[in-house]
A = this chain, B = another copy of it.
Amino acid sequence: MNKRKQTALNAIKQILHNAGLRITPQRVVIYSAVLKCANHPCAEKIYKAISLENPNISFDTVNRTLISFAERGIFNIVEGYHTAKCYDHNTVEHNHYRCVKCGEIFDCWFKPYNKLATPDDIPENFAVKRKKVIIEGVCGKCKKIYS
């Protein structure tokens, strides 16, 4: 293992440790796979991505691991649309574009969306934690198909 990989491995271990999670080979593999994945993968996608090199990691472990990562804030779950849960390894505040045809998610880094006003009709005793913006539309790929 070269130096860069060693450093990355230590970083992962640190993150798991800080989250109060035991460091298992499965978790290291799953964490790395999500980081490596360009977009917002679901459990199935990660499972497929790792299973060739790690045929002994079960789907259940992938799913459970991703959920526990999300619960501890290591990843976020993308605001969903009744499809499989998708994970976002970038926990810096940002929003999402979403294609209503294919469900593809794109990041939106438009700053003003991070400082939206707080609404004036908050339900009784509702404690606001965060505000998210979803920009719905049709992506370039789907526009071609449907027009």
Contacts and interface: CB of A to CB of B under 8 A. Distances in A.
A106 B126 contact: yes
Contacts of A125: 139-140, 143
Contacts of A143: 125, 127
Contacts of A124: 140
A59 interface: no
A35 interface: no
Which range contains the number of A residues in contact with the other chain?
Answer: 35 or more
Interface string A121-147: 111111111111111111110010000
Identical copies in the complex: 2
A84 to B, nearest CB: 8
A50 interface: no
Contacts of A108: 119, 121
A126 to B, nearest CB: 5
A133 B136 contact: no
Contacts of A82: 77, 80, 82, 84-85
Given A109-B121, A126-B99, A116 B133 contact: yes
Interface of A: 77, 79-82, 84-85, 95, 97, 99-100, 106, 108-110, 112-113, 116-117, 119-140, 143
18 contacts: A79-B79, A79-B81, A80-B80, A82-B82, A82-B85, A95-B119, A99-B126, A109-B121, A110-B117, A110-B120, A110-B121, A112-B117, A123-B140, A125-B143, A126-B138, A131-B135, A132-B134, A133-B133
